[in-house]
Structure 1
Amino acid sequence: MATEQLKYETLDVNEIYEIRKYSDRLVIETETSNQNSSFRKLFNYISGSNEKNQEIKMTAPVTQIEKNGNMTMQFYLPSEFDESNVPNPSNSEVKIL
């Protein structure tokens, strides 16, 4: 089964990078100084560590940005989720945006 990919528009391309604008989508995120810890917290959420004990398919891409001096990792949620049906995280360090 294929991983759901976010829709995007390519804004600019050069030899080194591509700038993309992604469609609006809910994300889960966590902020930490440890990349492995961030991934594990988000992976636990999609593996059922949420209020509905619901497993959620992973999508691509996974993003990581510097925020407040720490690294913030984000998983985009599948398109079937919106604010009315997304399960709340069990871990208070995981946020839905």
Structure 2
Amino acid sequence: MRSRLATVVAATAGTFLVGWIGWGVYSARTTERVPYDVLESGDGFELRRYPETVLVETTDDDGTDAFRRLFRYIDGENAASDEVAMTAPVRTGRGEGESVAMTAPVRTADRGDGPVTMAFYLPPSYSKTSAPVPTDPDVRLVVEPPRTVAVRRFSWLATDRRVEARRRVLVAAVAERGLEVRGEPALLQYNDPWTPPFMRRNEVAVTVG
């Protein structure tokens, strides 16, 4: 009896694990990503060139509230009532970007004290004049000009300690190369919350000159 129960439990767990991994693969392959060109790799980071991109951004004391606010925007809470495809990564950080009035990855700015600024990259098909205008006054559209970015990638959960450790390594590696850091580092997250931790793609990134 115990042997049969153990077999059933093992089979159930195995089925769940396969389904969980399958979801992670499906999500990664079907989510549109911000385009970029790799300029070089090595020395502790990857150097990329990004084109001009449009983001929808908000600032809040709580990251969960910020995410929900942005999700409502792409779910149709905008002047055009358009549903906007989710694009990876999501960016999170501290501070604000340059706002673009009446226009249209998760990005999170470097973690630390103060409010969280989170941004969703809009699909490349949107320009600064065609993206739906937010109806929530706490949500804004932002345009990032073409830029060169240094990135260090890591997997599993993006805890404060792990992000800070990789941020320090990235900044030190960039300084050793003689590149000038412009602005604060940001956390880029490419997966939804249901993706297995060992399949997640996270990056710390900083614009360089």
Same fold (TM over 0.5): yes
The CA distance in 2 between the partners of 1:7 and 1:41, in whole Å, is 25
SS at match of 1:85: coil
Q: What CA distance in whole angstroms lies between the structure 1 residues aligned with 2:46 and 2:126?
A: 27
What corresponds to 2:37 in structure 1?
Answer: 9
Equivalent residue for 2:71? 43
Name the structure with the higher strand share.
1
Deviation at 1:85, TM superposition (A): 1.4
> For residue 82 of structure 2, what is the amino acid of its counterpart?
Q
| Corresponding letter in the other structure for 1:6 | V
- The equivalent of 2:56 in structure 1 is 28
One of 120, 140, 148 as aligned partner of 1:95: 140
1:87 to 1:2, Cα distance in 2 relative to 1, 3 A = same
Tell whether 2:104 aligns with 1:59: no
- Tell me if structure 2 keeps the 8 A contact 1:6–1:23: no
Deviation at 1:50, TM superposition (A): 0.2
For residues 54 and 86 of structure 1, the distance between their equivalents in structure 2, rounded to whole angstroms, comes to 9
Give the C-alpha shift of residue 66 in structure 1: 1.4
How far 1:9 sits from its partner (Å)? Answer: 3.4
Displacement of 1:23: 2.4
TM-score (norm 2): 0.42
Q: Larger C-alpha radius of gyration, 1 or 2?
A: 2
Question: What is the CA distance between 1:83 and its match in structure 2?
Answer: 2.1
Q: How far apart are the structure 2 equivalents of 1:32 and 1:13?
A: 35
Q: SS state of the match for residue 91, structure 2?
A: strand
C-alpha distance in structure 2 between counterparts of 1:71 and 1:90, whole Å: 20
Q: Which has the higher contact order (CA 8 A, sep 6+)?
A: 1
Q: Which 4+ runs in 1 deviate beyond 6 A?
A: none
Kindly tell me: are residues 84 and 72 of structure 1, through their superposed partners in 2, closer, same or farther at Cα, counting changes over 3 Å?
same
Q: Partner amino acid for 1:27?
A: L
Gaps of 5+ in 2: 1-28, 97-113, 143-209
| Long gaps (5+) in structure 1 | none
SS at match of 2:133: coil
